[in-house]
Amino acid sequence: MPGFMSDHPSILFVCLGNICRSPLAEAALRAAATKAGIAMEVASAGTADYHVGDPPDLRAIAEARRHGIDISQYQGRQLQMRDFTRFTHILALDEENLADIQSRAPTEITARLGLLMDAVPGREGGSVADPYNGDAEDFSRTWSDVSLAAEALVKRFAR
């Protein structure tokens, strides 16, 4: 869980359902930060409440497993008002997610809002495509995107 008084970054990834893209982003950044020896709090949430309490999509679990990471115990949760002051950064997976987050932000917000792909040189302003109605290949593309971003975030926070 994010440390309220901690001085290290705490990152919340937000997509729509919190069962496909943001859990994979969470897994990728946690793994990259651990590998780099950087202290970071990482979590994920959805703008919608469709999958509160649910495990990630089976295809997301399978994709993470292909990269040696077990996300089967993750549980879907919805973005909450307190997240805007609990995290240092709230990073949206796509532009629609970002617009949703911005429209809900309280005036006392302390977290920085942005797009996940803004971290990747050449991919600024880009979205991570929603793989929900796709196939395993789409989930593999999601992994490529979120792992690129995770590496970039680790580099940025290592400075």
Q: Looking at the annotation, which residues are catalytic?
A: 15, 21, 130
Query: β-strand 89-92 against 10-15: which pairing, if any?
Result: parallel
Q: Which stretch binds ligand 4NP (CB under 6 A): 2-10, 12-20, 79-87, 146-154?
A: 12-20
Q: Enumerate residues 73-132 that contact ligand 4NP by CB under 6 A.
A: 130, 132
- As given in the structure block, the two tokens for residue 145 are 């995107």
Ranges of H-type helices in 4-56: 21-36
Interaction of residue 136 with ligand 4NP, rule CB under 6 A: no
| Closer of 20 and 31 to ligand 4NP (Cβ) | 20
The contact pattern for ligand 4NP, residues 16-55, with x = CB under 6 A and - = no contact, is: xxxxxx----------------------------x-----
| Closer of 59 and 157 to ligand 4NP (Cβ) | 59
Interaction of residue 14 with ligand 4NP, rule CB under 6 A: no
118, with CB counted inside 10 A (0-12, 13-18, 19+), is middle
Q: State the Cα–Cα distance between residues 147 and 155, nearest whole angstrom.
A: 12
Among 13, 146, 8, 28, which residue's Cα sits nearest to residue 91? Answer: 13
Minimum distance between the CB of residue 143 and ligand 4NP, rounded to whole angstroms?
12
Q: State the Cα–Cα distance between residues 127 and 130, nearest whole angstrom.
A: 9
Minimum distance between the CB of residue 97 and ligand 4NP, rounded to whole angstroms?
8
Among 14, 133, 135, which residue's Cα sits nearest to residue 76? Answer: 14
The residues that touch ligand 4NP, with contacts defined as CB under 6 A, are 15-21, 50, 130, 132
